Structure 1
Amino acid sequence: MELKDKVEVTFHAGVLTIGGTIVEIAYKDSHIFFDFGTEFRPGLDLPDENLQTLLDNGLIPELKGLYDLRFNYEYKGDETKDYAHTAVFISHSHLDHTRMINYLDSDISMYALEATAEVVSVLNQNGDFLLPSPFESEKAFTRKITAVAPYGKIQVGDIEVQLVPVDHDAYGACGMIITVVGRKIAYTGDLRLHGYNPEDTEKFTELAYKADMMIMEGVSISFPERKPVKVACPIHSENALIAGFVQLQKVNPERQITFNAYPANVQRFSEMAKQSIRQIVLTADMALLLKKLFDQDVAYYKENVEQDTSLLDKTLEVDYVDLLADKTNYIWQVTDNFDKLQAGGLYIHSDAAPLGDFDPTYEKFLALLNSNAIEFVRMACSGHATPDDLDKIVRLTKPQLLIPIHSYHPEKLENPYGERILPNRGQKLLL
Structure 2
Amino acid sequence: MTTTVTVLNGVDTIGGNVVAFETQTARVIMDFGINFAPAESQPDDLLSNGVLPALPDLFTDIAGDKQTAIFISHLHLDHMGALKYLTKLTPVYMTMASATLYAELIRQGLELAPNAQVQVIAPNKDVQIGDLTVRAFATDHDIMGAVMFEVTDGQHRFVHSGDVRYDGWHPERVTAWTQYLHEHRPDLFFVEGTEFSFDDDTSRQRRTEATVLTDFTNAMASDDLVVINPYERNVERLMNLSAAARQANRELVWDERFAGILRAMGVSNEIMLGQDVTVADIQQQPGRYVLQNHFDNLHLLDAFDTFSYLHMNGEPLGDYDPRYADLTAYLAQRGVALQLAGASGHATPDDLLRIAVEVDAKMTLPWHSFHPEREAEALRQIGIETYLPKKGETFTFE
Length-normalised TM-score, structure 2: 0.90
- The reply to whether residue 40 of structure 1 matches residue 40 of structure 2 is no
Identify which of 193, 212, 216 aligns with 1:245: 216
Are the equivalent residues in 1 in contact too, given 2:255–2:272 (CA < 8 A)?
Answer: yes
Superposed displacement of residue 324, structure 1: 5.5
Residue pairs, 1:291-370, within 5 angstroms: 291-302=263-274, 317-323=276-282, 326-335=285-294, 336-341=296-301, 342-370=304-332
Distance 1:324 1:19 in 2: 41
Secondary structure of the 1:404 match is strand
Deviation string, structure 1 residues 261-294 (Cα, Å, up to 9, x no partner): 1111111010111111221112233233333334
Identify which of 155, 159, 163 aligns with 1:186: 159
Superposed displacement of residue 325, structure 1: 5.8
Identify which of 143, 154, 173 aligns with 2:146: 173
User: Structure 1 counterpart of 2:54, which letter?
Assistant: E
Distance 1:399 1:201 in 2: 15
Unaligned runs of 5+ in 2: none
Distance 1:357 1:242 in 2: 24
Secondary structure of the 1:36 match is coil
User: Structure 2 counterpart of 1:393, which letter?
Assistant: I
Superposed displacement of residue 359, structure 1: 1.8
Superposed displacement of residue 327, structure 1: 2.2
- The reply to whether residue 153 of structure 1 matches residue 145 of structure 2 is no
User: Structure 2 counterpart of 1:352, which letter?
Assistant: G
Distance 1:291 1:222 in 2: 36
Q: Aligned residue for 1:257?
A: 226
Secondary structure of the 1:208 match is helix
Identify which of 362, 384, 399 aligns with 2:361: 399
CA distance 1:364–1:422, change in 2 (3 Å): same
CA distance 1:196–1:162, change in 2 (3 Å): same
- The reply to whether residue 223 of structure 1 matches residue 195 of structure 2 is no
Please say which of residues 322-331 and 177-186 is displaced more in the overlay: 322-331
- The reply to whether residue 144 of structure 1 matches residue 117 of structure 2 is yes
- The reply to whether residue 372 of structure 1 matches residue 334 of structure 2 is yes
Distance 2:169 2:115 in 1: 28
Q: Which runs of 4+ in 1 moved over 6 A?
A: 226-229
CA distance 1:360–1:58, change in 2 (3 Å): farther
Length-normalised TM-score, structure 1: 0.83
Secondary structure of the 1:337 match is helix
Secondary structure of the 2:70 match is strand
- The reply to whether residue 266 of structure 1 matches residue 235 of structure 2 is yes
Are the equivalent residues in 1 in contact too, given 2:255–2:292 (CA < 8 A)?
Answer: yes
User: Structure 1 counterpart of 2:28, which letter?
Assistant: I
Are the equivalent residues in 1 in contact too, given 2:87–2:115 (CA < 8 A)?
Answer: no
Secondary structure of the 1:175 match is strand
Distance 2:118 2:66 in 1: 20
- The reply to whether residue 60 of structure 1 matches residue 60 of structure 2 is no
User: Structure 2 counterpart of 1:220, which letter?
Assistant: E
Report the structure, 1 or 2, having the larger helix content: 2
The number of equivalent residue pairs is 385
Are the equivalent residues in 1 in contact too, given 2:207–2:342 (CA < 8 A)?
Answer: no
Are the equivalent residues in 1 in contact too, given 2:230–2:313 (CA < 8 A)?
Answer: yes
Superposed displacement of residue 372, structure 1: 2.1
Are the equivalent residues in 1 in contact too, given 2:252–2:271 (CA < 8 A)?
Answer: yes
Are the equivalent residues in 2 in contact too, given 1:167–1:198 (CA < 8 A)?
Answer: yes
Superposed displacement of residue 424, structure 1: 1.4
Q: Aligned residue for 1:305?
A: none
Superposed displacement of residue 56, structure 1: 4.6
CA distance 1:379–1:48, change in 2 (3 Å): same
Secondary structure of the 2:364 match is strand
Superposed displacement of residue 66, structure 1: 1.4
Q: Give the aligned CA root-mean-square deviation in angstroms.
A: 2.3
